[in-house]
Amino acid sequence: MTSDLAGLLFLAVFALLIPGAALAIPALIAPKGTVDLTPYESGMKPVGSARLRFSVKFYLVSLLFIIFDVEVIYLYPWAIRLRDLGWPGFFEVVMFVVILGVGYLFILKKRALDWD
Amino acid sequence: MQLLAERIATWLGMEGLPRQAVVAGVVLVVALVVATVVLTIAGILTWAERRVAGRTQSRVGPNRVGPLGFLQWVADGIKLITKEDVIPAAADRTLFRLAPYPVIVGIFAAFASVPFGQKLIAADLNVGVLYLMAITSLVVVGVLMAGWASNNKWALLGGVRSAAQIVSYEVPSVLAALSVVLLAGTLSLQGIIGKQGGWPWEWYLFYNPFTFVAFFLFFTSAVAEGNRTPFDLPEAESELVAGYNVEYSGMRFAGFFLGEFANVYLLSAIATALFFGGWQIPGVTPDMQAASPVWQAVGVGLFALKAGTGAFVVLWLRWTMPRLRVDQLMGLCYRYLLPLSFAMLLGNAAYVWLVPQWAAWVVQGATTTVGLAVAGVFVRRVFYHIRHVGDDVSLDLARGESGTFDPQLQVRVYGAFRRRHAGDSAS
């Protein structure tokens, strides 16, 4: 197990080194200063900066993600021990999902999932 | 892996070396091998994608570099290395430079616990499934960094879209994988494969109707997580040019590109391990496989075949399906996939408790029969259409008589095809 974790660490380091090495070569041989450095916006002159606030409704998506992802993580230990926990465990998870379902219906009723 | 390290140490006659040094050495080599394999797989897939695209669109695709254009990806790599690494003047330089790293680390590190074979796994973690789901989420960070740092409106929109999409579709894919975890009672991928068998009716895909549906949920959300068509809104070329990587060039672009294609193989490999019996060979028990290197090689080949077929389907999808709209995308995830995957999870749990063993056998057989029948009908339809088109346009038409490339021939045959079908729309 320890060596497995060490393997992961080494692989992560390699994953960092490979693009690092791949980027070092162009730094040596690739040409420099051949292109215009303005943002590419289909040949139009960029209007303003992209550092702007815009409502893309994505903050709601990330809130929903946090809710559901945390719930899913709670389900993992139960799933592994399903056979040991038996009916009591099953009904507890059903309760858990029912409460989650009520929240889901609330989200639907609040029209949080509608785009407009 | 520690056992492997000890065996190698004995084999080399180096028992005297400190144990940790040997383990570290073996781990280092394994990491290097995995990294090389991932790069090669991703490279080959970029070539495969262009061949598939060519065939789907009745054209040739790359066929000049090497046999069937196979070395095209090497040529592309060399080209990308010699290209300037452009950093726009308005960009956030540090973040812009760092952005490809999380993407590559996320995908590469995930390959560490992909069971390519019975003994061929870099790290058989006891939390394998959870680890895979967690580490691939690193991609979101890189994509958001790239999108914001580029200081380009296309990139910003693409990056934010991509982040929203990846995190949303993670929930159904994790839940669908949970259906299998629940049946296997373990998170280790080797353990999950060990609970299945070589024959199709022993796969979790056909275990019961709930897992059958769970597979499609998993596959759909995994494709969406990988930003592949029909869910490639972050890179929608017709509206966002290239999305979050629009400002990237040279090797930094190659980082995102290889990450995407490695992810295609990764999702097929995970699906193979969870639903398709992984390296299990029909008629060969895991013990028999462990005893014989030949069977193990066959198992590795079988895994590569299954995962390769999955990757082919993902490539095929890209050239067949139209793209969704952003509002449809989120609606699909939260309205349909999420409740469905919860239903499949509870259905599976109830199935384990309610259905007695004899009934489970019947259900398994019925699911296998129906599933294989559905797959058979689908494959027959595909071949029917290919053959139907083949009457008019040969798939090999551009090769010509002597096996050499003849563009004129393609033009001629296509012209004949169009003339024959000229009246179709009128009648």
Token output for B290: 């462990």
Terminal-to-terminal C-alpha distance of chain B? 68
Contact check, Cβ <8 Å, B339/A5: no
- ipTM of the predicted structure? 0.83
Which residue of A9, A14, A102 is the best one to mutate when testing the B interface, meaning the one whose CB has the most B CBs within 10 A?
A14
What's the pLDDT tens digit per position in B333-344?
Answer: 888 888 899 899
Higher-scoring residue by pLDDT: B27, B223: B223
Under a CB-based contact definition with an 8 Å cutoff, are residues A39 and B247 in contact?
yes
Q: Architecture of domain A2-109 in CATH?
A: Up-down Bundle (1.20)
Global pTM?
0.84
Name the residue facing B251 among A13, A23, A115 (closest C-beta): A23
Q: What is the pLDDT of residue B108?
A: 83
For B343, the closest chain A residue by CA position comes to: A97
Mean pLDDT across B298-318: 90
More confident residue, A54 or A70: A70
Helix (H, G, I), strand (E, B) or coil at B392: helix
B76 Cβ under 8 Å from any chain A Cβ: no
Taking an 8 Å cut-off on Cβ atoms, the answer to whether A26 and B84 are in contact is: yes
Q: Hunting for tokens 């002159």 — which residue is that?
A: A45
Q: Are B47 and B70 in contact (CB under 8 A)?
A: yes
User: Looking at residue B322, what is its pLDDT?
Assistant: 82
The pLDDT of residue B415 is 64
Query: What percent of chain A stands above pLDDT 70?
Result: 79
User: Is residue B426 predicted with pLDDT exceeding 50?
Assistant: no
Query: What pLDDT is attached to residue B268?
Result: 93
The answer to whether residue B58 neighbours chain A at the CB level (below 8 Å) is no
Measured CA to CA, the distance from residue A28 to residue B148 in angstroms comes to 27
Q: Which residues in chain A are closer than 8 Å to B338, comparing Cβ atoms?
A: 68, 104
**Closest residue by Cα to residue B213 from B345, B355, B366, B353:** B345
Q: Average pLDDT of chain A?
A: 77
Compute the average pLDDT of residues A35-43: 71
The pLDDT score that the predictor gives to residue A17 is 78
Cα gap B157→B259, rounded to integer Å: 20
Tell whether A82 lies on the interface with B, counting CB pairs under 8 A.
yes
Mean pLDDT for the stretch of residues B249-268? 87
* Res B427: pLDDT: 42
**Interface contact B150, partner A, CB < 8 A:** yes
Q: What pLDDT score was predicted for residue B377? A: 92
- Alpha carbon of A49: minimum distance to chain B alpha carbons (Å): 7
Q: What mean pLDDT is reported for chain B? A: 81
Nearest CA in chain B to A35: B86
pLDDT tens track for B333-385: 888 888 899 899 888 888 888 888 888 888 888 888 998 998 899 888 887 77
Percent of chain B with pLDDT over 90: 7
User: How confident is the model over B96-130, as pLDDT tens digits?
Assistant: 888 888 888 888 888 888 888 887 777 777 888 88
| Å between A53 CA and nearest CA of chain B | 11
User: Which of A2, A3, A100 best probes binding to B when mutated, by most B CB atoms within 10 angstroms?
Assistant: A3
Cα→Cα distances B222→A108, B7, B205, Å = 24, 38, 16
Shortest CA distance from A79: residue in chain B: B182
- Among A10, A26, A46, select the one facing B31 at the smallest CB separation: A10
**pLDDT value of residue B219:** 92
Q: Please, which pLDDT band fits residue B4 given cuts at 50, 70 and 90?
A: low
Cα angle vertex B376, ends B341, B218, to 5°? Answer: 20
Chain B (16-35) residues lying within 8 Å, Cβ to Cβ, of chain A: 23-24, 26-28, 30-32, 34-35
Task: Determine the Cα–Cα distance for residues B44 and B67; give it in Å rounded to an integer.
Answer: 13
For the residues B246-267, what does the mean pLDDT come to? 86
